[in-house]
Amino acid sequence: MTETEDTGKSKKLGLSRPGKLELKKTVAKGQVRQSFSHGRSKMVSVEVRKKRTFERDSGGHMSEIRENSATADAAKDAFVEPVDEKKVEVEAQARAASNLTNEERAARAKALESARIDSEKAAEAARLEAERKALEPVEEAQPEPEPEPEPKPAVEPNVSAPKAVPAAPAADDERRARPKKGAKTDNKKVQTPTPRRGEPRRRSGKLTIAEALGDQEGRQRSIASVKRQRDREREKMMAARSAGTKVIREVVIPEVITVQELANRMAERAVDVIKALMKMDMMVTPTQTIDADTAELVVEEFGHKFKRVSESDVEIGLRGDADDEENLEQRAPVVTIMGHVDHGKTSLLDALRETDVAGQEAGGITQHIGAYQVTMSSGAKISFLDTPGHAAFSEMRSRGAQVTDIVVLCVAADDGIMPQTIEAIRHAQAANVPIIVAINKIDRPDADANRVRTDLLQHDIQVEEVGGDVLAVEVSATEKLNLDKLEEAILLQAELLDLRANPNRPGEGVVVEAKMEQGRGSVATVLVQRGTIRIGDIFVAGKEWGRVRAMFDAHGKTLEEAGPSVPVEILGLGGTPNAGDEVSVVDDESRAREVGQFRLRREKAAAGVASARGTLEQMFERIKEGEAESLPIVVKADVHGSVEAIVSALDKLGTDEVKVQVLHSAVGGINESDVTLARASNAPIIGFNVRANPQARELANRDNVEIRYYSIIYNLTDDLKQVLSGMLAPEIRETYLGNAKIQEVFNITKVGKIAGCMVTDGQVKRGSRVRLIRDDVVIHEGELSQLKRFKDDVKDVKDGTECGMAFANYHDLQKGDVIECFDVEEVARQL
């Protein structure tokens, strides 16, 4: 049974006229537009469920309350959630303001400010009126008169209509008939009482998280808003591209660059760059490299700006700028002692080392260090540099490494000036380094110091005793005489030079010596020139780089840092550098790696060009003069200075006919790879102060590879000089014997032509070499096949005797020709 809408009477269920059995629908369908982020929206189907409310009418029957009735209106108003109109209005104004110009925004802001002031005034007036009414006595029978609506806020702030509770079914009809709060009965609106003073006011609007947590800060920008702004910027950029607006970029062009990398730097497609290069008649691929000039043309064609950089720019700023005067501090002098081999240079170094008190306490000096610093008896410090020979010293000076401050020239008083002494003087003069002459061995009975001073005048060295400015000190290394005077002379010269450096900067120096040690790796002896090197610093030494893992001084003591003029052994390199390489501390590993890789590429490129040039030159020489003999060898030594000195000495041994070809030279012991290389090239292995490991020795014995060990460089050069001398072609010497003149030519069957001759000078021997001279022109050179006197064969024919001669494989003989006879002998040559 159902209630009818008009009569409210019940009737039986039955079929309607169309013949359908149905109930009246209480669900209405519709469509609304749902909005999403980024301006997207779509239509969504929704269902609205209608609530049917029944109440007893005046006749006592149940009747449905329509939506247009006062009760339904009250219930609807009660169930609708109150809306914060201020918030809605602010959001609407924010959306509208996003599309306004600056002038319109200013006008809108001014209008909103005035509206806000009016609203606050109206709200204050309403609040005062409510307080006034609350103080007056309230009559229960008479409801409060309805307040007049204010012009601005339609709803009084902080006051919302109370929610009505729907009527529940009950037996008591009086409770059902009682009107609800806020509902209209008999066309009269029941007003909600105003809250009295002291009562808490109810919240208006929705409860947000910020309000619940008490966050009263300003509204923050959401992530969605940031994304929308980025999308708008991206759309503007795409619109600019579509409109033809080109973004001009500054493209950095190195010396060599690949096509793909150039396209990436221009933000262009690689296909377009390849098309541009094809127009220049260059067929390239994306991975192919092009030079800087071609890349510059491509960049200009695409309308970008270019900036040319060189690959060597990675070294810019590596050495640092010059120091200011106020940052410089005094440093110890760096002294190199040079001289002839037997003039007591080593003894003088040992004597100076013994004056180091700290050295005696530490128990000795590390043997293979190339430089050391000693503290003299006066307390002053002096750094001594022990170069591995004149060649290494010359290479160091030629690289421009200003390492040595003072050169002490050691000259024996009994021997005087020797050739190597002159060489040392030339090295010091070429390096523009002041010289102090130490006249050694004055304790010998045949010592003559004045002769040494006089001989030095021939080499532009004037000592103070003969009116010059060069200090000369007479010392004895074995007797330890006048070592204090030599110390004073060094310190006086250092004071005149005013040696200063800045210790408060990244360390810089030079590699004095480098070697490979088992268990320690690559060890470099570095002399710090300026700045300070500390443990943990990242540094570059030539083409090698690494991090300072440990530092040791000349006595084997561990150091935390090393300042100017301090020689140290540094551990932590990735490879063994060369003697004379510059050392610089850098900021990070990437910079060190870039510098090392650039220097390695430069070295390989230079070696490749040199080898190619040498190959072409050798090819032309072989065509012109014949192939030159070469002796391939493999050189292994204990330190890099020895390798450099040996290779330099062997290069000087070579001539146009024979030379030494160093296949491989390195620091360290002889290993299996060295033997394999020597076997493939049929070359001997030279070991200088190193030995082969057991595997290498076994492999060398099996493959018959010669390994020769040396500890003195002069013995090594002498042996190789003899080997090269044996490879030289012997010298051909001619010994004149005599001349004979052809008087008659006889033609003999089965023999050929025989020349009847008269020996006019010297003698003619059978088996000797002869020349046939016609009109003073040599027309043939060969050997005598027959020499006869009458019918007998003879060995020789002397002057004034007639004889018969026959030439081997030559018969163009004429009367009047002259035959010159001579012997040929071969003489061994020496380099």
For residue 685, the model assigns a pLDDT of 92
**Per-position DSSP letters for 189-226, written without gaps between them:** PPPPPPPPTTSPPPP-SPPPHHHHHT--SPPPPPHHHH
For residue 37, the model assigns a pLDDT of 76
Mean pLDDT for the stretch of residues 223-228: 89
Residue 10 has pLDDT above 70, yes or no: no
Domain co-membership, 544 together with 430: no
Could you tell me if residue 410 is inside a domain?
A: yes
Mean pLDDT for the stretch of residues 257-285: 91
Handedness of CA 364, 368, 373, 377 (dihedral sign): positive
Domain co-membership, 375 together with 493: yes
Domain co-membership, 664 together with 773: no
Write the pLDDT tens digit of every residue in 539-550.
Answer: 999 889 999 999
Alpha helices in 80-222, H assignment, sequence order = 85-97, 102-135, 173-177, 209-213
Could you tell me if residue 590 is inside a domain?
A: yes
Residue 638 has pLDDT above 60, yes or no: yes
Output Rg (C-alpha) for the chain, integer angstroms: 56
Could you tell me if residue 758 is inside a domain?
A: yes
Q: Domain of residue 473: give its range.
A: 334-498
For residue 209, the model assigns a pLDDT of 66
Phi and psi torsions of 51, nearest 5°: -90, 125
Mean pLDDT for the stretch of residues 380-388: 75
Mean pLDDT is highest, among 304-318, 458-472, 497-511, for 497-511
Mean pLDDT for the stretch of residues 553-557: 82
CATH number of the domain bearing residue 655: 3.40.50.10050
For residue 412, the model assigns a pLDDT of 87
Phi and psi torsions of 510, nearest 5°: -145, 145
Write the pLDDT tens digit of every residue in 180-221.
Answer: 444 444 444 445 555 556 566 666 666 666 666 665 555 667
Q: Which of 394-403, 408-417, 584-593, 774-783 has the lowest mean pLDDT?
A: 394-403
Q: Which of 95-104, 694-703, 779-788 has the lowest mean pLDDT?
A: 95-104
Domain co-membership, 739 together with 812: yes
Can you tell me the distance from the alpha carbon of 26 to that of 33, in angstroms, rounded to the nearest whole number? 23
Domain co-membership, 354 together with 450: yes
For residue 84, the model assigns a pLDDT of 56
Side by side, the strands of the sheet bearing 435-440 are 371-375, 381-385, 334-339, 406-412, 435-440, 471-474
Mean pLDDT, rounded, of the chain: 76
Can you tell me the distance from the alpha carbon of 103 to that of 670, in angstroms, rounded to the nearest whole number? 87
What confidence category does residue 799 fall into, taking pLDDT thresholds of 50, 70 and 90? confident
What confidence category does residue 609 fall into, taking pLDDT thresholds of 50, 70 and 90? low
Domain co-membership, 401 together with 458: yes
What confidence category does residue 130 fall into, taking pLDDT thresholds of 50, 70 and 90? confident
For residue 348, the model assigns a pLDDT of 82
Q: Which of 596, 616, 636 is the last residue of a domain?
A: 616
Q: Compare 8 and 709 and report the one with higher pLDDT.
A: 709
Spatial CA neighbour of 705 closest among 673, 683, 672: 683
Q: Which of 164-178, 564-578, 644-658, 747-761 has the lowest mean pLDDT?
A: 164-178
Which residue, chain included where needed, has tokens 């695409």? Answer: 302
Domain co-membership, 784 together with 821: yes
Q: Which of 101-105, 165-169, 817-821 has the lowest mean pLDDT?
A: 165-169
Could you tell me if residue 116 is inside a domain?
A: no
For residue 625, the model assigns a pLDDT of 52
Q: Which of 569, 586, 616 is the last residue of a domain?
A: 616
Q: How many CA atoms lie within 13 A of 802 on its CB side?
A: 8
Element (H, E) at 493: helix 483-497
Write the pLDDT tens digit of every residue in 39-78.
Answer: 788 887 777 666 667 777 777 777 776 655 444 444 444 4
What confidence category does residue 533 fall into, taking pLDDT thresholds of 50, 70 and 90? very high
Spatial CA neighbour of 816 closest among 744, 753, 766, 768: 744
What's the number of domains the chain is made of? Answer: 5
What confidence category does residue 397 fall into, taking pLDDT thresholds of 50, 70 and 90? very low
Mean pLDDT for the stretch of residues 226-231: 90
Could you tell me if residue 140 is inside a domain?
A: no
Could you tell me if residue 128 is inside a domain?
A: no
Domain co-membership, 569 together with 635: no
**Residues in Cβ contact with 39 at an 8 Å cutoff, skipping those fewer than 6 apart:** none
CATH number of the domain bearing residue 602: 2.40.30.10
Can you tell me the distance from the alpha carbon of 512 to that of 372, in angstroms, rounded to the nearest whole number? 11
Q: Compare 492 and 314 and report the one with higher pLDDT.
A: 492
For residue 532, the model assigns a pLDDT of 92
Mean pLDDT for the stretch of residues 674-695: 88
Q: How many CA atoms lie within 13 A of 786 on its CB side?
A: 20
Mean pLDDT for the stretch of residues 496-517: 87
CATH number of the domain bearing residue 428: 3.40.50.300
For residue 654, the model assigns a pLDDT of 78
Domain co-membership, 431 together with 526: no
**Is 119 within 8 Å of 153 (Cβ atoms)?**
yes
Mean pLDDT for the stretch of residues 505-527: 86
Q: Which of 96-110, 161-175, 554-568, 660-674 has the lowest mean pLDDT?
A: 161-175
Could you tell me if residue 15 is inside a domain?
A: no
Residue 273 has pLDDT above 90, yes or no: yes
Mean pLDDT for the stretch of residues 466-492: 86
Write the pLDDT tens digit of every residue in 279-336.
Answer: 988 889 999 989 889 999 999 999 898 888 776 777 777 777 777 888 888 888 888 8
Write the pLDDT tens digit of every residue in 723-764.
Answer: 888 777 777 788 888 899 998 888 877 777 888 999 988 888
Q: Compare 138 and 663 and report the one with higher pLDDT.
A: 663
What confidence category does residue 28 fall into, taking pLDDT thresholds of 50, 70 and 90? low
Is pTM, for the whole model, over 0.85?
no
At residue 333, what is the residue type?
A: P
Domain co-membership, 494 together with 610: no
Domain co-membership, 345 together with 473: yes
Could you tell me if residue 168 is inside a domain?
A: no
Domain co-membership, 600 together with 525: yes
What confidence category does residue 171 fall into, taking pLDDT thresholds of 50, 70 and 90? very low
Q: Which of 663, 697, 727 is the last residue of a domain?
A: 727
CA distances from 86 to 360, 374, 534 (A): 93, 88, 68
Q: What is the dihedral of CA 520, 526, 528, 532, to 10 degrees?
A: -20
What confidence category does residue 715 fall into, taking pLDDT thresholds of 50, 70 and 90? confident
CA distances from 638 to 322, 395, 641 (A): 37, 19, 9
Beta bridge partners of 406: 335
For residue 80, the model assigns a pLDDT of 43
Residue 260 has pLDDT above 70, yes or no: yes
**Is 249 within 8 Å of 266 (Cβ atoms)?**
yes
For residue 539, the model assigns a pLDDT of 93
Structure tokens at 617: 């030159």
Spatial CA neighbour of 427 closest among 453, 459, 449: 459
